[in-house]
Structure 1
Amino acid sequence: MNKKKKPFLGMPAPLGYVPGLGRGATGFTTRSDIGPARDANDPVDDRHAPPGKRTVGDQMKKNQAADDDDEDLNDTNYDEFNGYAGSLFSSGPYEKDDEEADAIYAALDKRMDERRKERREQREKEEIEKYRMERPKIQQQFSDLKRKLAEVTEEEWLSIPEVGDARNKRQRNPRYEKLTPVPDSFFAKHLQTGENHTSVDPRQTQFGGLNTPYPGGLNTPYPGGMTPGLMTPGTGELDMRKIGQARNTLMDMRLSQVSDSVSGQTVVDPKGYLTDLNSMIPTHGGDINDIKKARLLLKSVRETNPHHPPAWIASARLEEVTGKLQVARNLIMKGTEMCPKSEDVWLEAARLQPGDTAKAVVAQAVRHLPQSVRIYIRAAELETDIRAKKRVLRKALEHVPNSVRLWKAAVELEEPEDARIMLSRAVECCPTSVELWLALARLETYENARKVLNKARENIPTDRHIWITAAKLEEANGNTQMVEKIIDRAITSLRANGVEINREQWIQDAEECDRAGSVATCQAVMRAVIGIGIEEEDRKHTWMEDADSVSLHGACSDPAGAAVLALQANPNSEEIWLAAVKLESENNEYERARRLLAKARSSAPTARVSQGARRVRVAGAWPVCDGRAEMWAGKTSVRCVSATQVFMKSVKLEWVLGGIAAAQELCEEALRPYEDFPKLWMMKGQIEEQEGQMERAREAYSQGLKKCPHSTPLWLLLSRLEEKIGQLTRARAILEKSRLKNPKNPGLWLESVRLEYRAGLKNIANTLMAKALQECPNSGILWSEAIFLEARPQRKTKSVDALKKCEHDPHVLLAVAKLFWSERKITKAREWFHRTVKIDSDLGDAWAFFYKFELQHGTEEQQGEVRKRCENAEPRHGELWCAVSKDIANWQRKIGEILVLVAGRIKNTF
């Protein structure tokens, strides 16, 4: 038998084992030996050394020797941290203490990473937000367009064209042939006939379309056993009924796969699916992240200060805007609990709650705030029955009897007799309310009304409306002789009580009296206040403005009354005469206007006017084109309106009324003493041009330019006349001559550019525009024209250059607005139109383009707003505007009518 093999044979020696150490096989030394008992060349006995130290040392020496001999110095073997040889300790054993050290270092790294985690995440979040702001997602860029999809009608959806294959022939794959499937209408047609064996040639159904034969011929069997099921046995024909059944079965299978079968029910509601999609559309335009931030901020405010009413109101409105109405109601009701004494919180809660719930909220609010007028008013508004409203308001007056608002609301619901009784009590509770006193006086008889007004004057001695009402009362009852006395007493009494007489307010009251039919009161007020607070040298100018204001507001049954009063004080003032003429003309009193002008021409001596003009010229302010000049010296001012204005009004009146001969005669008469006044020459030439006398018109313009060589409108009229009769070369020469006599004139350069453009010479027009911008680099009207001379791709760049040169010029801003309009950027175009009319509201062209824009892209409300703002601004300048407003056919049109006419002439050709 074999002996059992020893278990340690063939196994490695244990750690620290030294052969023979147990038998005493060790080295020894003698006393004569100094040092070790062996020679230096003998092998070292390391049996008593620490087990690990010997083996590790030997191994390190061997590895070092091997590395010195076999070290790979290739660049690919180099590591920045470990060098060429790799880690120094990579070949050693990975012991337990190494593992513990690594664990400690890993724990330290984890601890340091957690300390820096918050700052790192905040920095990463900021970087992501910054990146998203600079490069927003496509979904965010089109969020506004997605919201507008809710406004698309069914007809607009159906009119969207199908997207075709825009690829060229090379991009298309020619390997796949186009298949023409059998239409469903074909199957439906034959299914309705009820035939059992309606069939088509199988060669024309499955393989290659209708005209492609089956590969292999008719007798070749179908691959994969296709015949059973759809083929009619014995005929080889298709059964159309079975095809329809198979199609329905396949559709049911697909629908079953799509649906989610949970307890036998599907999640998808086919009828309410589109409705649910509409409910998912947000009703707000803000970003979801912004809403979350606002919600979190408001929550913090509520928790920090729960008794702060605006926090609850803002929170409720935020939820209301986002479509969470019930959450808003819950929040505001919580706010009423935390802020029971806040009037605004209760009103907001009543607004958010529906019907009867709102009434209950208001009733609860009254218990907490029994003196709140606004809550009582809201309670009355919630009631639908008149009796209930009266009951609420009367209950409110029991708690708050001194509220004028409550008395007015209560009286409005009563009949006249009951209202008079309530007003009698109201003036006792509110004796300082002028409205209540006047309302009571209107409901009383003549005698009682006089008593009421006397009591009102005793309680309120500083209000002018009581005196004016008393005067109107006397006039209405035929006592016109008392009207003048009452107004005079009013002025004296108010001054005695320390009230300053505001002239403008009294004139407005006079206009209201006139509109109400109290003409005697209107005249009495005007006579009493027309001279208050006006210095002697300013009376003519001020009274003329008063006349214009009265005419503009449509007041006075005799519109020239204010001017007549002024003429009585200043019979030789040209300003007053012109104001009176204007008023008479606007009221179709043409004969009276002619007589006033004739008298004005005789009452305005040329010597006196010329003397005034010379005085002003010496002071350094020569009269401008409208014949008006001012020279200020301390508080005194010298104003002169030259007699040319009177002659101009006379010529224009005859011209518009069709008296051409009289207009020409007056024009010749005016040009004898005032040949250096360009507007007279312009009117003369335009009259001749209107009559078709081109030679005489050319002569009038030419003579005018000899006397007034610096008049730009005269040069333009002469050039356009030559262009009109076909003399393009002569028109070009006239403009060149005008530019020599008037250098750096943007208007003349612009006309030269347009002349070449209208002639079809676009290259010459661009060259002239470049020269014009060199000579007039800061001209906004030239830059605005230069933008649209460029091709469409270069217009935006040109507009940027124009804004750099003329940042606040209205013509440039208008051009930018039109540029956005042409690019269909509606919001930006509207913004730039607003900016244009805000900078220069006197530019009529800007208003006309703005109105045209709103007609195409705005609502009726926006159109009406633009028209109303234009009427209030009363623009007088602009190329297109003046062409319409100064047309003889439109001399009586209002600002709004001119705006519509100018907008109608604008065509979107830019």
Structure 2
Amino acid sequence: MAAPNQANKHAFLSMAPPPNYVAGLGRGASGFTTRSDIGPARQQRPDDKGKARADGEDGDGDDEGGAGGGEEGQFDDRDPENETGLFAGGVYEKDDEEADRIWEAVDNKMDERRRDKREAKEREEMEKLRAERPKIQAQFADLKRGLGAISQDEWAALPEPGNLTGKKRKKAEKREARETGRSYVVPDSVLLGARDQNATVSEDQTEQGTTTSLTEIGEARNKVFSHNLDQAGTKTSLGGTASTIDPQGYLTSLSSLPTQSTAEIGDIKRARSLYDSLIKTNPSHAPGWISAARLEERAGKMVTARKIIAQGCEHCAKSEDIWLENARLNGRDNGKVVLAQATQALRGQSVKIWLAAMDLETDPESKKRVLRKSLEFLPTSVTLWKKLVSLESDPGAARVLLSGAVGAIPSSESLWLALARISTPDEAKQVLNEARRNIPTSHAVWIAGARLTEQTSEAATDATQKQLDGRLAMAVRSLTKAGAVLSRDQWMEEALRTESEGSPMTATAIINATLDIGMDDDEERRIVWVQDAEAAKERGNIAVARAIVAYTLRLFPDRGSVWRFAVDLEKELAAAEGGDISSLEALLERAVSAVPKNETLWLIYAKSKWERGDVPGARQILIRAFQRNLGSEDISLAAAKLEFENGEKNAARSLLERARGEVGSARVWIKSAVFERDEGQHTRALEIVVEGLAKHDGEPKLWLMRAQLLQHPSVNADPAAGVRAARDALTKAVKSCPHNVDVWLASSRLEESANLTMRARAVLEKARLSNPRNDSLWLESARIEDRSGNAAEYRRLLSRGLQECPASGKLWAESIFAEPRPTRKTRSADALKKTGDDARVLCAVAQLFWVEGKYEKARQWFERSVRADVAWGDGYAWWLKFEKEQSDSSEEKRQQIVEAASRNEAKYGEVFQQVNKSEGRQREKWGMEKVLDVTAQKLVLKK
């Protein structure tokens, strides 16, 4: 028996421990955990856990290797080679970071050693893949290379593809029908539902299924209420309910009473308590008394207001404002008494009180009596003396008063000047001399003396101007000696004011004496003076502007920019003074003598002579100009134009031939070709163009002229041959000038004129690739679709163009009329907002008003359009077309439009330029009126 008992003595060691058992816990020991308790070192990924649960396994259970879930042996600690996640829970220190960096460097070095071999293997695999599965573009590479051998005729012989998009076209037509407002019949159920929308089911009639309309109930209630009001208003005393209120008298009494709301009454009460506290805590504070009195006045309690202001006068007897407020609240009669008390309280030393007392008087004598009394207390008040003098109607009496005033106040500048103004010229000179001695620091006295000299002189002569210049120079020295130094800007303001008051010679003298003050740097002086002259011209002070320019030219006689500004100023003055250009031509003669190398001044001088009809004089000026500027392009072309315009065709041709040899610029070749074309010599013009292209193959205008001349019947009798030749020329042109938009447009229009619309589209697509963000190309692309009848593509291209050119006035103006009529106004508002009042958009809005029959608004918008861009000829043509179709327009109005276009030298525009550069215009010598008239006939108003 002993053996079995001894054998079972330690049987508990093989038994399972109780739940939550910790060894040694009863003896005070703490529990501990082992590796088997916490699981593997590597944390399980969420996807592994989810996968294990999806397979029906327990994620926390242990497998054979001691890992729960995941791959077999993934967390097996018994495998010495499995180091995944071994130190995942450790601290990452600097040593670990350095070790990682070293191992990364080793890996990169090893990767560099194997890179060449790896890349070669990848290339070999890619080549094998491309051989098995080639790209589409590689399959057609030989065919694309073969397209280079196709001729232009073969391209032109390609047939136009038919429309194979039947289903898409039908869908587009349905979409267009919906956009244009086409509607369908609405079912009756929808109408009945809208009718019963405001209906509700009555609770007491639910069983019968009847409904009650809240709208009908409201209308019935309003009718009953209106009927009751009418009966109440028409009852008389016969019915026992007669009113005892007179309607007219009641309304009159209501109009005289101030109306106050409950909130306003509450505000008045709160303000009253605040003002009461203010005047009690600080009774000597005059604004508090005034505010309290005005509050009571606002509340309608005038008696209380007068009482408060009287108390304030007792506490603040030295305040002018409180006495004036007291007089105002007490009216005219009582106000005189109040002001008398104020005079005694202030001892007559308040100018405001005396002026208020004068205002309370009604007749002039009483006013004078009050002012004379005030001068006994305040003899040195300039304001009181001026007021008293202004009341005198007799000049002699006023002069006596002013004599006494300047005696009492010899330092008053305004009184001396007033005395000089009402004196005779001789006496005024004495007065101003006396004023100069008493006030040596007054510049106004010197200016008044100069103005007096100008006004008393018999005529505006150079001697008078020299006298005034000397006097103002003396004034500047005297004022500087006295310490009264004025800045250049202050003298400039005095000069502008003096001219505005009618003394231009004095203003000129001020400029001559003071313009150089504070200016040392020559370049700075020239720039600042020109800016001052421009500012004076904008303000309308012509004499000051002329004086500044003349002074600048005396110091900088070799500056062409200053002479050009002076010439432009004289041209504006000559136009404003009725066409007298004698001073302009005298200035131009001085200008070309001072700067003979300035070609612009020579051309302006010759044009001035020519416009006056002096053709020999203009010819002599151009001869002189050419002698001073040998090989000048502008002068040579101007001389040829002068001869051509006056009928000397052979002389013009000789001058152009000479210019081609001496100057040889692209412009000279263009003008020579244009001259021959206008004379009807198209073959000779083509020869000149070909010679010009041999020297200037990058000039787009020469290429365009060549294409145009090749299509002329006198050059190519066969139209098809002319088109082929022109196509060949434009093909070379786009290669020589790929960034010139006009060449691309001409090429596209040539293809479209030959009924090759697809080729025209292709040309414009290439042009857009070579010239991105160009609104002219997008506009032409859209218009091709419009002319082809493809409305959907037309609007799509306009939309794409606006995305690339969001501020283009051309595209926005076109898009306005591309919209349906109900949405055009909204589109116009968007266009004006995006373009900032572009002239083309303004013109489109004017056309919109024209179509809608709002003719006066259309006229206003046409005027705004031409003001926005004065050189845009299409704007004038549109306005002229509008005026010609209006019955209330006059010939004078149409002539004003033509004159404005001529004055502003309108020179460009999509239709205007085509007419202005046409052959007939030069040959028949069209004026601006004829050009605008033909342009207006070509314009088409979109409905």
TM-score by length of 2: 0.44
TM-score by length of 1: 0.45
